[in-house]
Amino acid sequence: MAKRRKKRRKYSRGSQREVENEMRRYKRGTARSGRKGRAGKVKSRKQAIAIALSKARKKGKKVPPRRK
3-state class (DSSP) for residue 31: coil
Q: What's the pLDDT tens digit per position in 7-53?
A: 888 999 999 999 999 999 999 999 988 877 778 899 999 999 999 99
User: What is the DSSP track for 33-52?
Assistant: -SGGG-S-B--SHHHHHHHH
**Domain locations in the chain as residue ranges:** 13-58
When comparing pLDDT for 24 and 2, which is higher? 24
CB-count burial class (<10 Å; 0-12, 13-18, 19+) for 31: buried
> Can you give the pTM of this predicted structure?
0.79
Contact between 61 and 52 (Cβ < 8 Å): no
Q: According to the model, what pLDDT value does residue 8 have? A: 87
